Structure 1
Amino acid sequence: MRCLLLAGSALATALAIAGRPARTQMRPLTHRWVYLAHNLLPDENVPVVEGLLRRAAAAGYSGAVLADYKLNILDRMDERYFRHVDRIRKVARELRMELVPCVFPIGYSSGLLAHDPSLVEAMPVRDAEFRVRQGAARLVPDPDARVANGGFEESVGHRVAGWALQDEPGQATLVDREVRHGGAASLRLQDLGATNPPAGNGRVMQSVRLKPFRCYRVSFWARTRGLDTPGSVNCVVLPPRQGAPSLTHISLGVAPDQDWKLHQTVFNSQDNSSANLYIGVWGGRRGALWIDDVRLEEIGLVNVVRRDGCPLVVKGEDGTVYAEGRDYEPVRDPRMGTVPWEGEFELWHEPLDIRLAASSRIREGQRLRVSFYHPGLVHEGQAAACLTHPKVYALLRDQMERVQRLFQPATVFMQHDEIRCANWCGLCQARGVSPGRLLADNARRCVEIVRRASPQARVCVWSDMFDPHHNARGDYYLVNGSWAGSWEGLASDVVIVNWNAEQAARSLPFFAGRGHRQILAGYYDGDPAATLRWLETARGVRGVEGLMYTTWANRYDDLERFAGLLWRPAPK
């Protein structure tokens, strides 16, 4: 989850950049903030945060953004948490540092979904085939959805049959008949930086058949030895349309050294009847990965979402719609949005059956067509809340009122960031507008909620979902449509926390032209001097007001160096 660090005076003079960036001279920054993603509930975290505040104050920072997940569930916190917050507030007052609380987790929505997991944005499955046996209806999996030669037993030399693409057979990708999980062989990917330079790819691909708007699981077994890029192991399911994003974006969690372990991803086929399934490594260097027993299968009622806009429909092949409670028992998935804790989603568990009621009109052996909704999950299980459901806004209002009572903040930071699934559920679809229009309306309503609770508070928001040069576009993850136009929902007095360094030359003028003040969210756990180059791009852009020490890895080693480069005199 992204969070901000604000700096609020004009950037001044030019930067001299020759080889290693030189330290710039600029007018004093009135707001110099540090981003703190810390949980204030454990006793041991409070002195850590206090120490960071004292270090930051000594280095010339003027405030801190508090990105604590617990701010989403303040109604569940006990007196201990509020004592800890009070201590941190007192330290901040002593140091004359502003505390900026984060609110409204739109995008990384687990804090909202902890209150009601069914508020997750969900994707439709339409008319999946079920059949009744022994009083329960179960999925009849799509027989055409399968992987050919998923165990890699069939090959000519190191060229495996059934896979249309194989990177460098016999060098980067090799059939291994000694090390295998099942059957007679596996596929080994070996030292890809040397065996397939310069890309370092080791992949196989085959076209698979799907049915539109069904839910599928890809699974495979993997073993590694000394794999120095385990995060580059991926499963990609590409639709036939040129430029379309993958249907799945799940992080597989492969370790550098592991024995055989099952890995899997789940995806919705959307409107596709076929796709290209890729498995392997993109950008590898050293080490070995073995892959075996690749499977593709349609799955049924896993993480089934039940709420307005996400109906479960059970009907016969003659079109008869059967009634829940009369023809079949109520369908509730107790693991949906509760594992490992409330608001979080496991990718897979055993599907639910549809159990017939005693008075059911459904008969033994009958074929049914079942439609339902499931969450659109990304990476490590990131889930986004629905942008339309009224209860979402009730929860946002409650959060803001509690944050106002706790902090009386001068600035509030809205967490609209990387919203990767949207505009699928019936409530969103019924509005008949684009995702961009949905988000524009959401942003307006969120700002109104802040202003109603805290009329004098300044409102900040991340840039990416409102930036046409970043994520406010089409073909974005699992979003049904384009985010274009989302920026129309932001009044010019909303401060943009801009983290689009790669497109800074276009992004910064875009927001400046719309009258927004901007704060550059720099650092990202690398070389602090890189922010100087970003400031050079920002020179002359109206309304660029400040900087933020932004760490995604809770790395504060460079806290003082960042300040020394950007606003303090150089050390002697």
Structure 2
Amino acid sequence: MKRAARAGYNGIALSDYKFNILDRMPERYFRNLAKVRDVASRLKLDIYPCVMPIGYSSGILAHDPNLAEGLPVKDALFIVRGKEAHLIAHPPVELRNGDFERVNGHRFIGWDFQDGIGISTFAEHSIVHSGTVAIRMENFRKGNKHGNCRVMQTVKVAPFRQYHVSVWIRSEVVSPADSIRILILAPDGMTLSYNDLKVKPTQSWREHHIVFNSLRYNHVRIYIGIWGGNRGRIWFDDARIEEVGFLNLLRRLGCPLVVRGEDGTIYEEGRDFEPVRDERMGMAPYIGHYEVYHKPPPLRLTPNSRIKDGERLRVSFYHTMLIYWGQVMCCLSEPKVYEILRDQIERVDAALKPKGFSMQHDEIRIANWCLACQRRKMTPGQLLADNVRRCVKIIRTVRPNAEIFVWSDMFDPHHNARDRYYLVNGTLEGSWEGLARDVIIVNWNFRKRHESMRWFAKRGHKQILAGYYDGNPMRIRTWLNDARNIEGIIGVMYTTWQHKYDDLEEFARAVGW
């Protein structure tokens, strides 16, 4: 803070996950927070706490993991065996030659597509996870000029079902390792999976998992491999797909569980089957955090259940989905979300008495699937407009004269406020209609900065330019030059996501402070 003050900065966007759970924090935390507040005051630095995590919602979900947005599973088949009912894939689902045992030279039989056969993809007979053959990938750019090295197979699925894909992976000095993926594409090109496999550059055999919902599709393309590979070697073996049941099962009014017989009988929870809970949902490793895959619980019958042994059940429910390294989005419609947000603002305001707040609406990648949202018959853009309007009202109620900031992307039609954005069900257009004119936009759309700055200026918003992004500190000059004739550009922010403050002073000099 002292360096920032000397360099000419006048405020801090203060981010701390604990702002979401102040009701659990010990007294010593508040003493330390008061010290930060007092030092900032002496240095004439205004504090703007980061609140309302709409997008990266773990802070909200720490109060109730069931508030996550849910994707629907419709009429999954469960068959009763004794006192338990287990999911049976219907239709049956499989990866042909998923164990990679059947080969013709270096071509893997059953796979519909294979990059660089005998050039970058090879039948490996020495290093295998099981059996006698694995697939080895290397020399990525010899087989594909872009460094893509993959196998692909089209698989028949049922619409609105949850599927788990796994594969064993071994790696050796791979770069970039985070580009090793299992990718699920719908026939129209929509990506259905965004799980990060977390493969290390060098590792021994390890099983990796992704989960996807088939949504409205009855076929998907499953890719396994690396995109943009530069160097190293990768081995894959024992790939498989299965339909799964109550994995990351959500239980709230907006995510109902329905169990019915194929004759139409609706069975009752507590009377015909025991209460269903996925005990690891939102508890991995602690409350509000989720894991891609674990063994889902079965459906257990009560002693006096009307459900018979051997009966075929059709089960509908909702599950949450992780994006990349663990992002989970909250529901935009559940009333409890807004109770939690109001409590957060009241507690943060009491602790810091800030000049304003920075709302964390950002990269909202799943929305408008659960029944709570669907019943409102609104587009995702309308739901988000309503959400941000309510969030601003909460802040204004607690601190009427607060300055309010929000990230630009979810309200920018030149960025993420658009149709076909990740797993959002519908268009996000119109989200900006919920923004009051006095909400200040923190604009990070450098790539389309001309269109973006003009868009928000035309709508009457003041803007802060979010520069740096752990790159060249001098690039802010380009942005400021392009902003010269745009009204309402009131400042810039040194924006780091890597806790990299080495360039704090150089950035200030580039701005001209």
Query: 1:527 Cα shift?
Result: 1.0
Instruction: State whether structure 2 residue 153 is matched by structure 1 residue 206.
Output: yes
Please give the root-mean-square deviation of Cα atoms over the aligned residues, in Å.
1.0
* Secondary structure of the structure 1 residue equivalent to 2:331: coil
Residue of structure 1 in register with 2:83 after alignment: 135
One-letter code aligned to 1:136: E
State the match for 1:549 in structure 2.
494
Deviant stretches of 4+, over 3 Å? none
Q: Which position in structure 2 is the counterpart of 1:312?
A: 257
Partner residue of 1:56? 4
1:101-250 matches, within 5 Å, as: 101-142=49-90, 144-193=92-141, 195-196=142-143, 198-241=145-188, 244-250=189-195
Letter in 2 for 1:134: G
Matched residues in 1 for 2:145 and 2:451: separation?
31
Alignment match of 1:70 (pick from 11, 18, 21): 18
Q: Distance in 2 between matches of 1:86 and 1:405?
A: 11
How far did 1:90 drift?
Answer: 1.1
- Measure how far apart 1:376 and its partner are: 2.2
Residues 338, 345 of structure 1: 8 Å contact kept: yes
1:372 to partner: Cα distance: 0.8
Question: Could you tell me how far apart the structure 1 residues matched to 2:472 and 2:76 are?
Answer: 52
Q: Residue type matched to 2:135 in 1?
A: L
1:532–1:196 Cα change, 3 Å: farther
Question: Within 2, Cα distance between the matches of 1:155 and 1:140?
Answer: 30
* CA-to-aligned-CA distance 1:537-559 (integer Å, 9 cap, x gap): 22211111111111111111111
Distance 1:388 1:460, change over 3 A: same
Query: Taking structure 1 as the reference length, what is the TM-score of the superposition?
Result: 0.88
SS where residue 179 of structure 1 aligns? coil
1:422 paired residue number: 367
SS of equivalent residue, structure 1 residue 142: coil
Structure 1: gaps (5+ residues): 1-52
Aligned twin of 2:219: 274
Whether the 8 Å CA contact 2:134–2:237 is kept in 1: the answer is yes
Per the alignment, in what secondary structure is the counterpart of residue 175 of structure 1? strand
1:300 corresponds to 2:245 = yes
Please give the alpha-carbon distance, in whole angstroms, between the structure 2 residues aligned to 1:495 and 1:197: 46
- What SS class does the counterpart of residue 155 from structure 2 fall into? strand
- Look up the match of 1:458: 403
**Which residue number in structure 2 is paired with residue 43 of structure 1?**
none
Q: Which secondary structure does the structure 2 equivalent of 1:141 belong to? A: coil
Q: Which has the bigger relative contact order, CA under 8 A and spacing at least 6?
A: 1
- One-letter code aligned to 2:172: R
**Corresponding residue to 2:27 among 76, 79, 93:** 79
Q: Which amino acid in the other structure matches residue 14 of structure 2? A: L
- Give me the whole-angstrom Cα distance separating, in 2, the residues matched to 1:509 and 1:533: 16
CA shift, 1:143, in A, is 5.0
Q: CA deviation at 1:158?
A: 1.2
Report the residue type matching 2:162 in the other structure.
Answer: C
Q: For residue 197 of structure 1, report the CA deviation from its aligned partner.
A: 5.2
Distance 1:409 1:88 in 2: 12
Give the paired residue count. 513
Please list the CA deviations of residues 111-161 of structure 1 after superposition, one character each: whole Å capped at 9, or x if unmatched.
Answer: 000000000000110111001112111111235321111122222211211
SS at match of 2:209: strand
Q: Give SS of 1:342's match.
A: coil
TM-score normalised per structure 2: 0.99
Cα offset, 1:191, TM superposition: 2.8
Query: What secondary structure, in the 3-state scheme, does the structure 2 residue paired with 1:529 have?
Result: helix
Task: Specify the SS of the correspondent of 1:452.
Answer: helix
Percent of aligned positions that are identical: 53
Give the structure 2 partner of residue 339 of structure 1. 284
Unpaired segments ≥5 residues, structure 2 = none
1:501-532 CA distance string (max 9 Å, x none): 00111111011110001111111111111222
